[in-house]
A = this chain, B = another copy of it.
Amino acid sequence: MPTRTGRPPRISRAEIVAAANKVIEEDGVAGLTMRRLAREVGSTAMALYHHVRDKEELLLLLLDDYAAGLARPELPSEPYERMVAAALAMREAVAGCPWAVDVLRADDLLSVGALWYPEQIVDAAIRAGLGEEDAVDAYRIIWHYTAGEIAARAAARGRRAEGGPTYRDRVFPELDAAEFPRLSGVGPRWEELTARDTYAKGVRALVRGLLPPESPPNKP
């Protein structure tokens, strides 16, 4: 065991992560800058670079930290319901950290700690009778849907927080009824209809469409 030498550290990765979470809670992810974080930690921006390689590593660290605290609820064993429940749990997990969707790249879901969700979804798909390939497809399709829904919700929330009229508000009233009969028909109800949470409905449709037609609500 080599003797550690030199100055003892004044800040730790754990402290940095905790401070970063505080900043995000207060000002959102956009408010998380190295300088702001340093202020929170009581240090300088440059000191942070001694503990994390760059900002991207910091964000991955935050994701790991978040993923470690995720719930792993008991899932029903019936494949259809199992898949729906796993998707709902995944959505809830990601919704608790919506900026993750922007940071995440490719088909990745958070960090190792969060792989529990794809594992359960693929598992449910295989139990339902899908081959490995179809099961992975099913997971990815559900993930894309989930990511899209969360991004849209986060954006809608941001828009509302900013106040001001929606793009839609400006556009819908002057819709040409001849060109867009259906949308004009919906008209002012659009706002109300699009405010509803349709995630579960979509997941059920997806699962119904992806799994073989045996299992749905009625048990085999």
- Contact check, A144 vs B202: say whether CB atoms are below 8 A apart: yes
Please measure, in the bound complex, the distance between the C-alpha atom of A207 and the C-alpha atom of B210, giving whole angstroms.
11
- Contact check, A144 vs B140: say whether CB atoms are below 8 A apart: no
Binds B, one of A18-26, A27-35, A46-54, A107-115: A107-115
A4 within 8 Å of B (CB atoms): no
A86 to chain B, nearest CB (A): 12
- For chain A, which range describes its interface: under 10, 10 to 19, 20 to 34, or 35 or more residues? 35 or more
A150 to chain B, nearest CB (A): 8
Beyond A106-B168, A207-B209, whether A193 also contacts B147 by CB under 8 A is no
> Which interface residue of A101, A112, A135, A168 has the most chain B CB atoms within 10 A?
A112
Binds B, one of A8-16, A37-45, A178-186: A178-186
Beyond A132-B186, A186-B132, A209-B206, whether A198 also contacts B141 by CB under 8 A is yes
Query: What's the number of copies of this chain in the assembled complex?
Result: 2
Beyond A126-B182, A209-B208, whether A140 also contacts B198 by CB under 8 A is yes
Beyond A148-B143, A180-B115, A194-B140, whether A122 also contacts B155 by CB under 8 A is no
**Complex partner residue of A107 from B122, B152, B209, CB under 8 angstroms:** B152
Give the residues from 142 to 165 in chain A that come closer than 8 angstroms, CB to CB, to chain B: 143-149, 151-152, 155-156, 158-159
Beyond A166-B108, A168-B106, whether A122 also contacts B206 by CB under 8 A is no
Please measure, in the bound complex, the distance between the C-alpha atom of A208 and the C-alpha atom of B80, giving whole angstroms.
15
A7 within 8 Å of B (CB atoms): no
